[in-house]
Structure 1
């Protein structure tokens, strides 16, 4: 049997850290005179108590995790932490059920951005800050996991980054913990810079703080029901657009830039592909809005670029109801939500590198068909693509599609129409935020779904955020055998 003590000890420490995170929204509500500070105080004490008990009961179990323990901890942390994070939300003056609270917390920690809350403009400040903190914590958590855990687990082709994460950088920084610490520093610096830029555009300091945390984490929780439509400012939209793109690029490469390799970002094939896609989508949507919707150049670029990149990066902000732009826009946005940003970023979706690996492998296969005696080697970032990476990418994309279809069917069985079902499943697995249609589109939210649909979506968020295999491997009987 698996020794659960190291897993429980690490999980307990994460729960304690979550409790510490509740202090700030508690103070904010206390200063604002909102009674929800008591809710945060009780939730903090209960969370710290349970986390502390787990740590004390398993102390001395060792810090090293084997492969199976790493799989179990990865899934367990993202499944259990939302249950504790949901307590302040469920018992606040918003008067939400635990299902709604868990959905909101899962959406926060997985940086999905789907919400069940209405009246955000009048919600308690502590709750608004807590939602932002959850996405901020989830963003840095997924970056560290992508650098230190997923390559080791060889999930969905992520092993292709093991060399870059632990050989290139390890020459300077010998331990993964040091790398993770420095990446966390970069993450904090980007958040502070984003907040400062928001304030320069006229945004109030509290909104700037929360939006900075949810922008750099590509999470998308905002302090208003109208999302970024509340600000309706070209400068604010531009700042957000820039930092959504920053948050969707590999943070390990920002570290390499700081360590004296200024061209590291440009030399990375994944980053170049992502920026090329961003440029293509921005130009395409801008031209389409000008030609077919009679937008001015400024309006077309501002609304078109902002919203398509928000969906592509999995951020999920909306500055207007793009669901009213017609069938072409809905189809394009639906496709873009699955693509995502770069591996090693806070972004979500299938990830750019998997499409690149797939296309390169298809190209080499077609070349061999034309010239059977030729030698054609598919390369990624100058290195041959190993067979296990090809198989992992193909398996990942196939399984992602199968689960998406099953999840869509499950949501449809709760009574939802096909647009709501497909887009809800897609936005959950791709961790995007808003869906499509009148009910769950950018002008709506997910509060009207049944409890069963919300639990299905919560599972979809979890499995999408953890790259599918990290979760599904736990359902294998062989995993639990000695």
Structure 2
């Protein structure tokens, strides 16, 4: 009997239900913010948004009520945090797909869920074939899902939960399980608040700058939302290809900022420039962008009749878009010389900085991987020497190195298995490579028939569900989801 009680209380069910209810409730409230655009443009999608919002808010409220009746301890343990994050993103994507289903923009549940999880995971892969024909309210919801997912609605909950008497440290750890970003304040609530203020502030600044370039308010705010989320959903069918050079440069700047650790963005607001440049990961991040842009720009300039400025602008735009996992498109990089296209494909495995809204492996993991590999060569010559891996001039714990190695190994294994599964479903090899790489890295466009001028609509439904799962894995950095499938997670001890 005692063992039964222990197993029954293994998870804090009441607390999990209460937090899930809060997340779903917030999701529904965000849906209602799309209504002004729907009414203004008169596209008739207001009813779908209203119905979806009401169902979502009501469902969230009922789940919260169940959590209250169930009773709970005001403490989030690690296992509870992993359940909340993994289940939270999955369930939010289900409710987030309701506006698409009710408006008949995506009558298929598969397509609606794919578009929604692509939004929340900030991947930007789409099944819409004519974006400009979609109702403006629904299109704003599409952009808003990326903005919500960018910083993570979980972090928003961390800022809110302390007011409800619930601490959020374990939840934050589950949301960012890799190399932890520096805390701006000792209390996690203050960290979450400041990160959101920076996030919202940069979104507002970008909106204004895009409008000064001739973009109307609707398109400007949509692109600002999806830029800062490194999501890449656009309100135009050709993404950024027909935008003016000024607007493209604005997008480049803010994509770089979105792919930068938000702690460093906070330092930028505080004009602490030395703290930014002395950050080792930022220097590598900037170096990769500059070197890759120069290499591709040179190839494009010599192999096409484009001007020097246009060649390097397209190269810079696509390099920044891919490395930050934003996914905007200003040119068809699959039509460039094979060398340039190969660099773009390699960049799909880089990712932005840790603590940013970018997906992918992250620059810091690559730095630690290469440093550890180099040190292993030294250890072969001096086997008794103790040579630690250093990052930002500080020795890092051996456990972090093991975590990085395990992450990259798991990433490559999942990438390989994903390609095999896609191929088994009848998808050609190049498309399988591109679809799996871009979904796992949360990038958007890939190669093959899911390249920058194509979309994912033609893929089999089974392939879309597989890619949806890969998007979730990539957004939560693998381990948060993978750990749930291990027997250790479900054991009592």
Q: Give TM-score, length-normalised by structure 1.
A: 0.93
Q: Specify the alignment match of 2:376 in structure 1.
A: 365
Q: Structure 1's 95 and 398: CA in aligned 2 closer, same or farther, altered over 3 A?
A: closer
Q: Separation in 1 of the partners of 2:153 and 2:179?
A: 13
Among residues 416, 419, 424, which one is paired with 2:435 in the alignment?
A: 424
Q: Specify the alignment match of 1:415 in structure 2.
A: 426
Among residues 165, 190, 193, which one is paired with 1:181 in the alignment?
A: 193
Q: Separation in 1 of the partners of 2:88 and 2:403?
A: 24
Q: Specify the alignment match of 1:219 in structure 2.
A: 231
Deviations 1:23-66 (A, max 9, x none): 12123212322221101111111101110011111125244210
Q: Separation in 2 of the partners of 1:89 and 1:50?
A: 18
Q: Separation in 2 of the partners of 1:31 and 1:157?
A: 43
Q: Structure 1's 153 and 82: CA in aligned 2 closer, same or farther, altered over 3 A?
A: closer
SS of 2:97 mapped into structure 1: helix
1:313-392 matches, within 5 Å, as 313-392=324-403
Q: Specify the alignment match of 2:483 in structure 1.
A: 473
Q: CA deviation at 1:82?
A: 0.5
Q: Separation in 2 of the partners of 1:267 and 1:151?
A: 26
Q: Specify the alignment match of 1:405 in structure 2.
A: 416
| Farther-moved stretch of structure 1 (47-56 vs 329-338) | 329-338
Q: Specify the alignment match of 1:152 in structure 2.
A: 173
Among residues 24, 37, 41, which one is paired with 1:15 in the alignment?
A: 24
Q: Specify the alignment match of 1:446 in structure 2.
A: 456
Task: Check if 1:207 corresponds to 2:208.
Answer: no
Q: Specify the alignment match of 2:129 in structure 1.
A: 118
Q: CA deviation at 1:285?
A: 1.0
Q: Structure 1's 206 and 423: CA in aligned 2 closer, same or farther, altered over 3 A?
A: same
Q: Specify the alignment match of 1:94 in structure 2.
A: 105
Deviations 1:338-390 (A, max 9, x none): 11100100011000000001111112221222334544222111221211111
Q: Specify the alignment match of 2:279 in structure 1.
A: 268
Q: Specify the alignment match of 2:3 in structure 1.
A: none
Q: CA deviation at 1:257?
A: 4.7
Among residues 59, 63, 80, which one is paired with 1:69 in the alignment?
A: 80
Q: Specify the alignment match of 1:395 in structure 2.
A: 406
Q: Separation in 1 of the partners of 2:371 and 2:37?
A: 51
Q: Separation in 2 of the partners of 1:130 and 1:368?
A: 54
Q: Specify the alignment match of 2:52 in structure 1.
A: 43
Q: Give TM-score, length-normalised by structure 2.
A: 0.91
Q: Specify the alignment match of 2:261 in structure 1.
A: 250
Task: Check if 1:54 corresponds to 2:63.
Answer: yes
Q: Structure 1's 207 and 474: CA in aligned 2 closer, same or farther, altered over 3 A?
A: same
SS of 2:137 mapped into structure 1: helix
Q: CA deviation at 1:294?
A: 4.2
Q: Specify the alignment match of 2:207 in structure 1.
A: 195
1:279-290 matches, within 5 Å, as 279-290=290-301
Q: Separation in 2 of the partners of 1:131 and 1:49?
A: 21
- 1:341/1:347 contact within 8 Å kept: yes
- 1:348/1:430 contact within 8 Å kept: yes
Q: List alignment gaps of at least 5 residues for structure 1.
A: none
Q: Separation in 1 of the partners of 2:390 and 2:171?
A: 21
SS of 1:339 mapped into structure 2: coil
Among residues 440, 453, 465, which one is paired with 1:455 in the alignment?
A: 465
Q: Specify the alignment match of 1:5 in structure 2.
A: 14
Deviations 1:255-291 (A, max 9, x none): 3454674422112111111111111111111111122
SS of 1:279 mapped into structure 2: helix
RMSD: 2.0
SS of 1:158 mapped into structure 2: coil
Q: CA deviation at 1:95?
A: 4.3
Q: Structure 1's 254 and 308: CA in aligned 2 closer, same or farther, altered over 3 A?
A: closer
- 1:150/1:158 contact within 8 Å kept: no
